[in-house]
């Protein structure tokens, strides 16, 4: 058995899964190590009692806080990682987020790359994860080179009332960009059935655009890709000089296994990647791998997040609630010159979900009734990098998370702002209840292996390769210098595609983004029902022959100025070939 590979990827979430998608077609021999297995498809996938009250799918371990007290982390070890449970809100960071930003609580540092460098990969990630959205509706959105491929997800009636009410108050609500596999024009064939158990739940019908569904499963069709599940990476070992990762030590089904690769990528998430590097300390790296800067594990961020509920006498029968967002106060307001953050909806709450924050004596049946009248908001403000907010590993190898909240005044103002707006909109009897997400809420974890140009102040270079090692990369949320104030998933995915192009170049394989011409007509312009009827080798995302030959010839969407010829694509292959010869030469 040959245990040496071209690439080893540790983890299959937003970073590792997306990177696998990028590298799989290269033909290079790839080993993927996933700590967990596949989520079992069962009715409990959609049970709030199983997911929230019983924490059935949470990581089977406890972490420690700075006082040594155990807590249950809200993280998940399955193929697809935390994307199996995410709410699929896929926002781009704002263009200003890549620059230094002054906050009341301190400074959010500039990134070592610009938004313009990230933009092609944001577009690629949005198309890959099939994001539904509407350009121009978000007043703070950055420029984009491509439209959304799919239309925004519609609001249900009660949510439309919220949108209309906030609009009348001068706000600019916009549709949340969502990675779900929904076709509202053809509900009979839509994979997504628009249920109330999406945000925080695994999708029983595989209609969420998560890393397993979109990236890992398709990549496994390539014979050069091997996936090992229930494979816990215990440590990384280096050669005698300490410059190369020579072995990946794995515990799998009670057996110790060793693997090696020309390139090793850690994509276990910001916390677990940092912990892996720290527990891999050796004589050449006494403070942990890639840690000559003493920055591994430091600058941990996870956002200041609050869930805010408003209860009134008006029922809220909404099933899929997460369709509206507001960024009017992202960079401040007339009475506050500093950034406050982002407002959106969270998945619809019910009794078992309310139980954690309710008095113990209140039965779930009562909470279920309350849920029928609640509207549930998610508020996010940026937390700032602090070297004392960090991941460490104790003498027993357990993960310790040290975290002190910061930039709280901005978040308090955001919460107060939303309560004030609700008070203006809800004219009848109503009341609000809010709760801040605790330490275990690590869904937005980032910042523990920041990237940069200077090896003295950063762990990774701008390609996310460790400064201290020749073949070690970290591709997850750890590279973030700042957390900004929208969900990090799309930026992690885009960065994985960006690093993927770098690795393809290093491996001597072709890049799929840097030289890519515009996508073909059927990617951008034709409705999906026509797309589904294409014949021959014209698949979504493919290029026309001319574009493939010279990377500058007209693409099919240029040709499709000739709309009457569209019908030829439903006809026989000879007509299709004739169309190619005539137009795409």
pLDDT in tens, 178-219: 999 999 999 999 999 999 999 999 999 999 999 999 999 999
Residue 312 pLDDT exceeds 50: yes
Token duo for residue 147: 């439209």
Containing 434, the helix (H) or strand (E) segment is strand 430-436
Residue 109 pLDDT exceeds 70: yes
pLDDT in tens, 8-54: 999 999 999 999 999 999 999 999 999 999 999 999 999 999 999 99
Query: Strand locations in 189-335, DSSP E?
Result: 225-228, 231-238, 245-252, 255-266, 304-312, 324-326
What pLDDT does residue 311 have? Answer: 95
Q: Which CATH superfamily is domain 4-153+177-302+385-403+441-507 in?
A: FAD/NAD(P)-binding domain (3.50.50.60)
Please state, for a pLDDT cut of 70, what percent of the chain lies above it: 87
pLDDT band (50, 70, 90) for residue 514: low
Residue 459 pLDDT exceeds 50: yes
* Range name among 76-85, 459-468, 511-520 with the lowest pLDDT average: 511-520
- Mean of the pLDDT values across residues 288-304? 98
Residue 333 pLDDT exceeds 90: yes
Token duo for residue 368: 């279920």
What pLDDT does residue 554 have? Answer: 33
- Mean of the pLDDT values across residues 81-86? 98
Mean pLDDT, the chain, rounded, equals: 89
Whether the CA torsion 264, 265, 271, 272 is positive or negative: it is negative
Using CA atoms, how far residue 147 sits from 90, 427, 515, in Å, is: 14, 38, 19
Token duo for residue 454: 């200077």
pLDDT in tens, 47-70: 999 999 999 999 999 999 999 999
Residue 580 pLDDT exceeds 60: no
CA nearest to 33, candidates 249, 190, 188? 249
Residue 508 pLDDT exceeds 70: yes
Please state, for a pLDDT cut of 90, what percent of the chain lies above it: 84
What pLDDT does residue 428 have? Answer: 82
pLDDT in tens, 155-178: 999 999 999 999 999 999 999 999
What pLDDT does residue 512 have? Answer: 60
pLDDT band (50, 70, 90) for residue 429: confident
- Contact indicator for 493, 267 with CB cutoff of 8 Å: no
- Contact indicator for 325, 176 with CB cutoff of 8 Å: yes
What pLDDT does residue 32 have? Answer: 98
Q: Which residue has the higher pLDDT, 248 or 551?
A: 248
Token duo for residue 48: 């709030």
In the chain, residues under CATH classification 3.50.50.60 are 4-153+177-302+385-403+441-507
3-state secondary structure of 546: helix
Token duo for residue 204: 């029983």
What pLDDT does residue 356 have? Answer: 83
- Contact indicator for 353, 374 with CB cutoff of 8 Å: no
Residue 526 pLDDT exceeds 80: no
Residue 570 pLDDT exceeds 50: no
pLDDT in tens, 355-406: 888 898 999 999 999 999 999 999 999 999 999 999 999 999 999 999 999 9
What pLDDT does residue 566 have? Answer: 36
């Amino acid at each position: 058995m040959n245990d040496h590979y071209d690439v080893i990827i540790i983890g299959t979430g937003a970073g590792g899964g997306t990177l696998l998608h990028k590298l799989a077609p290269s033909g290079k021999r790839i080993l993927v190590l996933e700590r967990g297995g596949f989520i079992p498809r069962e009715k409990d996938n959609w049970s709030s009692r199983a997911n929230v009250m019983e924490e059935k799918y949470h990581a089977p371990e406890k972490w420690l806080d700075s006082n040594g007290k155990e807590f249950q982390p809200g993280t998940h070890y399955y193929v697809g990682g935390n994307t199996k449970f995410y709410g699929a809100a896929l926002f781009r960071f704002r263009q200003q987020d890549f620059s230094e930003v002054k906050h009341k609580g301190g400074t959010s540092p500039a990134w070592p790359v610009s938004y313009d460098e990230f933009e092609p990969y944001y577009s690629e990630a949005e198309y890959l994860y099939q994001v539904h959205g509407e350009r121009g509706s978000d007043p703070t959105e950055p420029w984009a080179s491509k439209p959304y491929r799919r239309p925004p997800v519609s609001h249900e009636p009660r949510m439309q009332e919220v949108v209309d009410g906030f609009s009348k108050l001068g706000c600019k609500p916009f549709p949340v960009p969502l990675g779900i596999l929904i076709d509202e024009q053809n509900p009979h064939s839509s994979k997504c059935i628009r249920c109330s158990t999406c945000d925080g739940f695994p999708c029983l019908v595989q209609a969420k655009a998560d890393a397993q569904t979109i990236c890992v499963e398709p990549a496994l069709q390539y014979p050069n890709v091997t996936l090992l599940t229930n494979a816990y990476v215990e440590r990384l070992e280096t050669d005698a000089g300490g410059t190369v990762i020579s072995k990946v030590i794995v515990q799998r089904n009670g057996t110790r296994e060793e693997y090696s690769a020309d390139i090793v990528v850690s994509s276990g998430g910001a916390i677990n990647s940092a912990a892996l590097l720290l527990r891999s300390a050796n004589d050449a790296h006494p403070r942990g791998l890639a840690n000559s800067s003493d920055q591994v594990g430091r600058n941990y961020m996870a956002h200041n997040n609050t869930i805010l509920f408003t209860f009134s006498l008006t029922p809220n029968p909404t099933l899929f609630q997460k369709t509206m967002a507001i960024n009017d106060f992202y960079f401040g307001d007339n009475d506050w010159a500093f950034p406050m953050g982002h407002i959106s909806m969270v998945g619809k709450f019910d009794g078992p979900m309310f139980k954690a924050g309710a008095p113990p004596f209140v039965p779930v049946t009562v909470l279920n009734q309350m849920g029928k009248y609640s509207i549930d908001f998610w508020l996010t403000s940026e937390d700032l990098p602090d070297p004392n907010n960090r991941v460490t590993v104790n003498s027993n190898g357990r993960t310790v998370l040290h975290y002190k909240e910061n930039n709280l005044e901005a978040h308090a103002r955001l919460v107060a702002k939303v309560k004030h707006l609700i008070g203006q909109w809800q004219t009848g009897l109503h009341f609000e209840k809010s709760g801040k997400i605790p330490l275990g809420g690590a869904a937005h974890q980032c910042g523990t292996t920041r990237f940069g140009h200077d090896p003295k102040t950063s762990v990774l270079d701008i390609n996310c390769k460790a400064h201290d090692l020749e073949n070690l990369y970290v591709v997850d949320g750890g590279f973030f210098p700042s957390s900004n104030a929208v969900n990090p998933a799309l930026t992690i995915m885009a960065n994985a595609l960006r690093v993927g192009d770098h690795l393809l170049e290093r491996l001597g394989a072709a890049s799929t983004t840097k030289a890519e011409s515009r996508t073909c007509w059927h990617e951008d312009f034709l409705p999906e029902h026509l797309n589904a009827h294409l014949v021959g080798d014209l698949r979504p995302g493919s290029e026309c022959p001319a574009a493939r030959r010279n990377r500058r010839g007209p693409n099919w969407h240029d040709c499709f100025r000739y709309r009457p010829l569209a019908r030829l694509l439903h006809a026989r292959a000879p007509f299709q070939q004739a169309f190619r010869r005539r137009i795409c030469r």
